[in-house]
Amino acid sequence: MKKKQVNAGVIAAVLFVFIGVSSVGMNILDKVVMKMTGADMESSYMYGFPMEDFVGIVKVDGDMMDSADTSYFAAGGGYDHQATVDYIEALSEAENNVAILLYVNSGGGYTYIGDDLYLELMEYKEETGRPIYAYFDSIAASAAYYAAMSADEIYANRMTTTGSIGVYMTVYDMTELYDKLGIKEYMIKSGDNKGIGGGGQEVTEEYIAIEQAQVDEMYELFIEIIAKGRNMDPADIYPIADGRTFTANQALELDLIDGIARYEDYKEQVLGYMGDNVVYHEQSSDMDPFTAMFGSILNAIPKSDNQAMLEFIESHQNGGMYYESSCY
């Protein structure tokens, strides 16, 4: 009996060593192959790009903030800007990538994120000479519409809400709330307008004028980007660029999009542009279903009034600037 146990232990140890050596060997081989074949092979390996010519599907799904919530029990995942930028750069390096299909289902977000995604997509086009096609799902507004101005063609679902061309920022004056809660804030600052919009600082008319000038500048840039992307006269954009949203039919009449179709039909249409034997590749999400489900359960747990108030104050310390629609 003891001899059998010893033999079993020896076999297990040998297998463990063999598997370990094999894993190390494969890792070394992978690195050698990547080094010999360059960045193109490395990107293909990392993202699982197909061997055939392919169209990369870049997804803008959810609010366009700094990044998705990547905590282990976060629900949903949402739009992850850095992951999206990395994927676009990998597509640029992949020699058998022939185009991008930009799938948009977002009401917008930070001006910085919308502009950075637009610039990344434009860089892809300029460096590769490959086209970008865009599809609008249920909503493609504000910063999401801004980013889509990189596309050579835009189609939308007939139930799409789009537009919301404009910029806003919100600053909260919480001085009365702080007084009611008995909170006193002492801010040591270098100038009158430093720190306004945070905590218990009073929002002054001077500060509002300063921020309005910045909003106006971002608005003019939005108009410029649309004029370039849609080949339109800025004079024709200003009357419809007051923040209003449009249906797909209205957007088509205003030349804000090029056509209306179901997503699967438009995907087939794009493949038709590319020729035979072209496939799609879509960046996969790292979140497993169990994690997403558990995160949803955690988020559903009611919060106390104090906790909700503290979270509100913390998330509204100062005004970020947005290209965003409130219509969903």
Percentage of the residues of the chain whose pLDDT score is greater than 70: 69
Task: Output the pLDDT for position 231.
Answer: 97
Amino acid at the residue 181: L
Write out the DSSP string of 179-223: HHHT-------SSTTTTTTSTTPPPPHHHHHHHHHHHHHHHHHHH
Task: Output the pLDDT for position 59.
Answer: 97
Taking residue 179's Cβ as centre, other Cβ atoms within 10 Å add up to: 11
Write out the DSSP string of 127-151: HH---EEEEEEEEEETHHHHHGGG-
Rounded-to-integer distance, Cα 4 and Cα 127, Å: 65
Task: Output the pLDDT for position 42.
Answer: 60
* 281: three-class secondary structure by DSSP: strand
Task: Output the pLDDT for position 12.
Answer: 46
Q: Known catalytic residues?
A: 142, 194
Question: Bigger pLDDT: 193 or 14?
Answer: 193
* Mean pLDDT, all residues of the chain: 80
pTM: 0.76
Q: Which of 41-45, 48-52, 192-196, 207-211 has the lowest mean pLDDT?
A: 41-45
Q: Which of 31-35, 45-49, 122-126, 246-250 has the lowest mean pLDDT?
A: 31-35
Instruction: Tell me the torsion sign for CA atoms 119, 122, 127, 128.
Output: positive
The residue-averaged pLDDT of 160-166 equals 97
pLDDT tens for each residue of 261-313 = 999 999 999 999 998 999 999 987 554 444 445 444 544 556 555 555 555 45
Question: Are the C-beta atoms of 151 and 174 separated by less than 8 Å?
Answer: no
Residue environment code for 294-319, b if the CB has 16+ CB neighbours within 10 A, otherwise e: ebeeeeeeeeeeeeeeeeebeebeeb
Residue 154 forms beta bridges with which residues?
A: 134
pLDDT tens for each residue of 65-98 = 876 554 444 444 589 999 999 999 999 999 999 9
| DSSP at 165 | -
Taking residue 2's Cβ as centre, other Cβ atoms within 10 Å add up to: 6
The residue-averaged pLDDT of 186-206 equals 79
Task: Output the pLDDT for position 43.
Answer: 64
Residue 234, pLDDT above cutoff 70: yes
Task: Output the pLDDT for position 109.
Answer: 93
H/E run at residue 274? helix 263-274
